[in-house]
A and B are shown apart, each in its own frame.
Chain A
Amino acid sequence: MGLTGLEIYKKLPQTNCGECGSPTCLAFAMQLAEGKAELSECPDVSDEAKAALDAASKPPIATVTVGAGNYEREIGGETELFRHDKTFFNETGVAVAVSDEEDVAAKVEQINALSFERVGQDIEVDMIAVTNDSGDADTFVEAVQTVADNSERSLILVTEDSATMEAALDIVADQNPLLYAATADNYEAMTELAKDNECPLAVKGEDLDSLAELTKKVDYEDLVIDSGARGTSEVLRDQTVIRRLCIKKKFRPVGFPTITFTTKEDPQEEVMQASTYITKYAGIVVLSNTVELAEMLSLLTVRQNIYTDPRVPVTVEPNKVYEVGEPDENSPIFITTNFSLSYYSVEGDVSASKEPAYIIPIDTDGTSVLTAWAADKFGGAKIGEILTEEMDIEDMVDHRKLIISGYVAVISGKLEEASGWDVIVGPRESSGIPNFISNRWESELNE
């Protein structure tokens, strides 16, 4: 949304000179708000007014690219406070810190292993933050080199010494690392480095006020910001204030993605802290101690779920056979849709029956049984075609019986015709499945 009439009016010179063509500044402000006039028509327009209009035409939060190659990722670019209002767009970058004082190669190997396949997607730690704890430039460069040699993950170079940063950039600048961080003391040198190497730059303040002052001074667009807060509640507060100021107030100095750091040493607590930051707007979260997949998996799952588009139905991979328990040649086959709520309702109730079974979710673009049926995506002919032409279900069982939801009993005739299988009309609700299996399946099977 652009600026409101009142916001523009307050930035106009209030001369009511009429040279813009409108009788009053107020009238001109309204013309501007409606896009019917140009700011340049005002003879006395200030730089402040120009900046305000410029701010209004930009997205509230800049999009910044970190890394290169396989692990290049965009952060920022968000427009919402709550994901259900639209969606969150760019997943939080999850980084693990490696100190230049520890066994770098060994930790990088652990980080590389933090990768998992979940509901068909690879989810993994995608950044490594190399920290200059030694305070020594050569040690830092060596650590950066080791990380770069052993991992493709995006790099975050953590040192406030610009000479050390420059030395590290000599070897990894082409990997588009994030430089962390410009502070009140070093921002001029750091900004030069970021500009020369075209790398994103993190700006760190002492608090929100000093952060906003600092970003105004830094003449560079590819910024990632850090308010300096480290306690969970302080980070939560700052993250919320920053996001609100960007979106609600179009406050440019904090219109950038954020970077957050966990402080807890126990991995379970660290993951909880990081989860909080992911749910509350962090562009990047840097952990230090969580290097076991069992611990990291929950965090990566949180990220995947939070950034799922709520406007798109969640689906399971369709047109394939899912096994619940260890079904055999006498187990029932349930037909449902690939809407995950439908599929998992059936799956949950089949599991509850304690009897093994097969479930086949038909591709309905992720819509439920009745929705798909009403939209002509769950007709007997179509399902029959998928079962016979795309799948190999004959070899799975000795019987020739399919079970469909009672709500779509009407498709059974067409489905029998198209598939050549007998169709059993099951219960309407999946909650009736355990009862169906224990009381009806055996007699149906022997019929």
Chain B
Amino acid sequence: MIIIGERINGMFNDIGEAIKNQDPTAIQEWAVKQLEAGANYLDANVGPAVEDSPEVMKWLVEVIQDEVDAPVCIDTTNVDAMEAALEVHKGTAMINSVTAEPSKLEAILPLVKEYEAEVIGLAMDKTGVPKDSATRTAKAMEIVANVDAHGIPMEDLYVDPLILPVNVAQDHAPEVLETIKQVKLLADPAPKTVLGLSNVSQNCTNMGLINRTFLVMAMAAGLDAAIMEANDQEMLDSIATAEIILNNDIYCDSFLKQFRK
């Protein structure tokens, strides 16, 4: 399971303040903390407090990588900001995200190719989030075909089938699980799959429980990665357990500990 730590996001007050004041302290603290917990990537989103400009995104990537040696998941809809961040990023970055809209694909995929980055493809277009699995899969297929046409390795694509909160869009969750299964059949080698996990429990009670239960179900369907709270220990226990039950990791009595190494 590839864990993309979600915490460096301007919608959290401490990060929002840090970005506004150009003070890297909180950002760098969270970078270290998430990696120590087991995150593989650090999502970086400037949030609603400041303008999503190339300068801010670039600064954010730089202050993160000044502190830690880890790839950043560049989370923005602004193509200029993506490019500015890619220019300064060290190692293999992840772009979050592109949709199946032709204009987006044409603007973003050449960047992904040029910088040898990875990319998250949202299974939607400008008409919004599809309701059923078949439409989600069709949107994913459009992204898959374009990624292939741009000469980007299929393993570098992470398809996000888009989970919605279970309290208001309950019928979406099973469709998302089915989409994860279908996406794995679209190409060989298969594209990877990713979820913005915390979305499933927005404004629900027992958010942690909902998150980790859904993640285990999604892993059983073939999920490869999640943007999630990397410091949620119960979540990590659930992932470690699922990896054992899926026969991805070899069992040992100390599997919870081994998973964190």
Contacts and interface: CB of A to CB of B under 8 A. Distances in A.
Contacts of B201: none
Interface string A19-34: 0000000110110010
A371 interface: no
B32 to A, nearest CB: 39
Contacts of A26: 138, 141-142, 145
A57 interface: no
B49 interface: no
B188 A7 contact: yes
Nearest to B186: A5
B186 A4 contact: yes
Interface in B112-156: 137-138, 141-142, 144-145, 148, 154
A9 interface: yes
A6 interface: yes
Nearest to B188: A4
Nearest to B182: A34
Among A4, A9, A27: residue with most chain B CB under 10 A: A4
A394 B185 CA distance: 63
A5 B185 contact: yes
B187 A30 contact: no
B145 A9 contact: yes
A30 B144 CA distance: 12
A6 B138 contact: no
Nearest to A2: B185
Nearest to A6: B187
Nearest to A249: B188
Contacts of A1: 185, 188
Given A4-B186, A5-B187, A30 B137 contact: yes
Contacts of B138: 26-27, 30
A29 B154 CA distance: 17
**Chain A contact residues: helix, strand, loop or mixed:** helix
A30 B188 contact: no
A7 B141 contact: no
A6 B137 contact: no
Contact of A30 (B141, B148, B154, B190): B141
A5 B145 CA distance: 9
Nearest to B191: A6
Interface in A1-47: 1, 4-7, 9-10, 26-27, 29-30, 33
18 contacts: A4-B186, A4-B187, A4-B190, A5-B144, A5-B185, A5-B187, A6-B141, A6-B144, A6-B145, A6-B187, A6-B188, A7-B188, A9-B145, A26-B145, A27-B138, A30-B137, A30-B138, A33-B185
A29 B148 CA distance: 15
Among A1, A5, A26, A29: residue with most chain B CB under 10 A: A5
Q: Top 7 nearest A-B pairs by Cβ distance?
A: A6-B187, A5-B186, A4-B188, A4-B187, A30-B141, A5-B141, A6-B144
Contacts of A4: 185-188, 190
A151 B187 CA distance: 51
Contacts of B186: 4-6, 30, 33
Contacts of A30: 137-138, 141, 186
Contacts of A7: 187-188
Given A30-B137, A33-B185, A6 B148 contact: yes
A6 B185 CA distance: 9
Nearest to B185: A4
A11 B142 CA distance: 16
Nearest to A3: B188
A174 B145 CA distance: 52
B100 to A, nearest CB: 11
A143 B144 CA distance: 60
Interface in A221-268: 248
A273 B195 CA distance: 49
Contacts of B148: 6, 10
A248 B187 CA distance: 12
Nearest to B187: A6
Given A6-B186, A7-B188, 20 more contacts: A1-B188, A4-B186, A4-B187, A4-B188, A5-B141, A5-B186, A5-B187, A6-B145, A6-B148, A6-B154, A6-B187, A6-B188, A7-B187, A9-B141, A9-B145, A26-B141, A29-B141, A30-B137, A30-B138, A33-B185
A1 B188 CA distance: 11
A248 B141 CA distance: 21
Interface string A41-68: 0000000000000000000000000000
